[in-house]
A and B are shown apart, each in its own frame.
Chain A
Amino acid sequence: MSLKLRALLKSPWVFHISTGSCNNCDIEILDCLTPRFDIERFGMLLAPSIKHADVLLITGSCNRKSMIRVKKLYEQAPKPVVVVAIGECSCSRGLFIHSYNCPVPLDKVIPVDIYIPGCPPKPEAIIAGVVKLIQKLKGKA
């Protein structure tokens, strides 16, 4: 595995985008940063700006207005970048699947590397998902 990828996996700075979520998933993401779960142990930090991000955490139902922004943000993020869909909404639009406002799921717009289901997923599930993602990237490289 290249040094570049290895360093990326040891210090993924996460950036958090909500595409019209009900806010529960966002709260669960913030839970991961609290003393109880402390993801800084794995070198993860919450990046203040998209230009500093290595991992995009995307929550919410992918509505028309926000998907334009998500696409722009994905283009602005410095590559290599990993996309994580958190919550049932961003995996498959969840209960909004028949809504007029959510025409396409997230992975039709930008490439998604891992899906973490749950409504909302527990912090443990988010951490487990990220661990699986790291194993997947290690296997791929």
Chain B
Amino acid sequence: MIYIIYLVIFGLFLTSVLGLVASWIDRKVTARVQYRVGPPFFQPFIDITKLMGKEVVVPNTASKGMFFFAPLMSFAGAVVASTILWINQLGYTEGFLGDLFVVIYLLMIPSIGIMLGGLASGNPLARIGASREIKLMLSYELPFILSIASIIVRSGNSIIFHRIIEIQGQNGANALSFSGGIALIVSIICIQAKLSFAPFDIPEAETEIMAGPLIEYSGIYLGLYKLTKCVLLFTLPFFIIILFLGGLNLSGIGIVYSIIKYIALLVIITLIRNTNPRVRIDQAMKFFWGPVTVAAIVSLVLAFIGL
């Protein structure tokens, strides 16, 4: 019962609000980089409200069940992942063995949902987008998991968030060591692709395949996808902060540091997004399976040595 309350308060409500604020920061920074004024603060909230009020158009060629189920699935995956992160961070629970792996799996579900939605909508452009999403996912998951593996090795083979945060509290943040630093860079590149931001916005390339898998979605289902994106925009940096930067500290002056950590990470992601052109899918695959995976393996080896 108590977990359902956590799910609603932290996962659904708090993370959605913080995610929408994060997406405002993202849009505002983008605008400032381009010498524009940018949207007002409540813009993401208004966008979602508007989408709730729009009509839902279902294409004739769509397979209806999956078309409606896929956005819910994406959203649910992201929300549950963020709930697990929150309750570990706030110390409400000791966690359970392997909750790190559960979160890794849950963070894949939004991408799978986008893929299924695209394939179910029966639009050729959406299918191209979905196929690109599959390829992109195959390429970024390998280095992402390797970089997390090096954190697991560094924190004494523990696979519980609680322990990882505790060990960082004793020995300092993981990112301050060689292996942790390299793994941090690798995972920032990977979450760039997980969020499908430029240079890895290949599945949703607006100028070539018109929003890819989302092309046929309208109304509240499009709103759910947008909300999932916002939730991920909060959850993925939060995940990185827990693994690499010692977690958030929500007491006293620690709040300021926590906010600075998160916003710094978000601004880095936004700046990468704004200063890079889109790459092709084969280039992205070569990039992830080449240099990025090598860097992740190097960090894993360094972690074994103990650097």
Contacts and interface: CB of A to CB of B under 8 A. Distances in A.
A80 interface: yes
Contact of B46 (A7, A38, A49): A7
Contacts of B215: 48-49, 51
A52 B211 contact: yes
B261 interface: no
A12 to B, nearest CB: 8
Given A35-B35, A76-B57, A78-B56, A48 B40 contact: no
B46 A11 contact: yes
Contact of B55 (A43, A48, A52, A78): A78
Interface string A1-14: 00110011011000
B34 interface: yes
Interface stretch (B99-107, B217-225, B246-254, B278-286): B217-225
Nearest to A8: B50
B166 interface: no
B27 interface: yes
Contacts of B214: 49, 52
Contact of A41 (B37, B53, B210): B37
A28 interface: no
Contact of B43 (A4, A11, A54, A80): A11
Interface in B1-59: 27, 31, 34-40, 43, 46-47, 49-50, 53-57
A137 B39 CA distance: 22
B53 A40 contact: no
A64 interface: no
Nearest to A2: B53
Contacts of A65: none
A11 B50 contact: yes
B47 A11 contact: yes
Given A48-B210, A48-B215, A49-B214, A35 B50 contact: no
B206 interface: yes
Nearest to B226: A52
Contacts of B218: 51-52, 78
Given A78-B56, A78-B57, A80-B54, A48 B43 contact: no
Contact of A3 (B43, B53, B54, B217): B53
B210 A49 contact: yes
B57 A51 contact: yes
A89 B99 CA distance: 62
Contact of B38 (A11, A41, A77, A78): A41
Interface in B49-93: 49-50, 53-57
A94 B138 CA distance: 53
Contacts of B36: 35, 38, 40-41
9 contacts: A7-B46, A10-B50, A11-B47, A35-B35, A41-B38, A48-B210, A78-B57, A80-B53, A80-B54
